[in-house]
């Protein structure tokens, strides 16, 4: 077997391994798959679509944030780049999102290189700090170059006819539901594949001790850059798919620091470096924000969402820094213990 064969078969094997290890996850995925058939309420379906997209973004964030502990607050940039690539190419030349997503990936990777190359040379928090301003810079660029980006008004698809998968124009909302579900699961698969590939091993070594890793021949900056590129590409694809559902782009809503924070928080709350953590995180944060927007609209001038982020960060750091998904391990252990105790009594 050649080296790449071996690598690929290993990735596929590890995906199956994860499925077998997580029977609960398989059941949950089945529930997701059947949900639209059971739930007739289009509002709930829309919320869950939002959850899936943000879970995908959280998983993408986790490739860099979880495996290498490089905390990025620039996620909205890559999401926005993917969205603009999709809508701009559609409006100017009728290009399918399945094509323009690759243009988005290329642009997002370029942007990630520009941020990552200088920052990853330095150790520690510099990267994290440097990422904070990126969202604002990109938004200003989008607003300034209004000839092609539509400025602060953004761009709108207008009316799209010709329903087709190729152009992601669907008759029914549930089509996008399944598309977002499949993409989220694809992101899970990519994350697992990266984690179990050489890159995943090296990244975790760098995360645990950068000096030791370097002394043994690992080049931390190179690996962090690779992880950042993968993460950026995943976010960009999410953006392209997302904009074809949304139907328009608004730079102020999309390329917002708020979105970057939301993405990071989803992964941190669910569990940094865990496979399913961001999915859980998205299922908590997105509905909570919906509730906030609905019931606390007037609270602090609409700042209830921010207050919520702050509160959640404090709580998770205090109570469960490894993330909520790790509670599942605790429960699993308890159940195993009880089982063992029960069988001991039986004898």
Considering only the stretches 151-159, 211-219, 236-244, 305-313, report the one whose residues sit in contact with other proteins under the rule CB under 8 A.
211-219
Quote the Cα angle for 297-298-303, to 5°.
75
The encoded tokens of residue 298 equal 């007037």
Chain positions 218 to 257 lying near other proteins, rule: CB under 8 A, are 218-219
Q: How far is the CB of 272 from other proteins (least distance, A)?
A: 11
278 touches 58 (CB < 8 A): yes
Q: How far is the CB of 197 from other proteins (least distance, A)?
A: 9
Cβ-based nearer residue to other proteins, 195 or 245: 195
Distance in angstroms (rounded) separating the CA atoms of residues 104 and 296: 36
Q: Is 338 buried (19+), middle (13-18) or exposed (0-12) by CB count in 10 A? A: exposed
Phi, psi of 209, deg, nearest 5? -160, 100
Chain positions 7 to 36 lying near other proteins, rule: CB under 8 A, are 7, 10
Considering Cα of 339, then 341, then 346, then 347, what sign does the dihedral take?
positive
Cβ-based nearer residue to other proteins, 62 or 135: 62
Distance in angstroms (rounded) separating the CA atoms of residues 344 and 226: 50
Q: Binding string, 167-206, against other proteins, x = CB under 8 A? A: -------------------------------x--xx-xx-
CA atoms within 13 A of residue 187's CA, in its CB half-sphere: 33
Cβ-based nearer residue to other proteins, 220 or 239: 220
Q: How far is the CB of 337 from other proteins (least distance, A)?
A: 19
Cβ-based nearer residue to other proteins, 205 or 292: 205
Q: How far is the CB of 130 from other proteins (least distance, A)?
A: 23
Interaction site with other proteins (CB under 8 A)? 3, 6-7, 10, 198, 201-202, 204-205, 208-209, 211-219
């Amino acid at each position: 077997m050649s080296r790449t064969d071996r690598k690929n078969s290993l990735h596929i094997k590890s995906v199956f391994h994860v499925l077998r290890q997580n029977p609960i996850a398989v059941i949950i995925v089945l529930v997701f798959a059947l949900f639209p058939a059971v739930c007739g309420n289009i509002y709930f379906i829309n919320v869950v679509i939002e959850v899936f997209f943000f879970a995908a973004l959280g998983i993408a964030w986790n490739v860099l944030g979880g495996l290498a502990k490089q905390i990025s607050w620039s996620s909205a940039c890559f999401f926005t780049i993917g969205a603009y690539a999709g809508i701009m190419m559609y409006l100017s030349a009728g290009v399918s999102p399945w094509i323009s997503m690759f243009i988005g990936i290329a642009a997002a990777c370029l942007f990630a290189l520009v941020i990552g190359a200088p920052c990853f040379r330095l150790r520690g928090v510099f990267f994290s700090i440097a990422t904070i301003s990126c969202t604002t810079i990109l938004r200003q660029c989008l607003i300034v170059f209004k000839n092609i980006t539509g400025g602060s008004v953004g761009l709108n698809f207008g009316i799209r006819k010709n329903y087709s998968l190729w152009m992601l124009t669907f008759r029914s909302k549930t089509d996008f539901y399944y598309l977002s579900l499949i993409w989220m699961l694809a992101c899970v698969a990519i994350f697992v594949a990266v984690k179990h590939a050489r890159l995943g091993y090296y990244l975790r070594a760098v995360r645990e001790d950068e000096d030791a890793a370097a002394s043994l021949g690992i080049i931390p900056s190179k690996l962090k850059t690779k992880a950042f590129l993968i993460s950026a590409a995943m976010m960009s694809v999410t953006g392209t798919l997302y904009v074809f559902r949304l139907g328009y782009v608004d730079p102020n809503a999309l390329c917002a620091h708020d979105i970057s924070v939301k993405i990071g928080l989803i992964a941190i709350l669910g569990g940094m470096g865990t496979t399913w953590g961001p999915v859980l995180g998205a299922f908590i944060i997105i509905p909570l924000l919906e509730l906030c927007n609905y019931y606390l609209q007037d609270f602090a001038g609409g700042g209830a969402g921010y207050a919520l982020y702050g509160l959640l960060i404090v709580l998770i750091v205090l109570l469960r820094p490894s993330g909520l998904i790790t509670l599942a391990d605790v429960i699993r252990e308890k159940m195993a213990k009880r089982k063992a105790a029960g069988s001991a009594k039986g004898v």
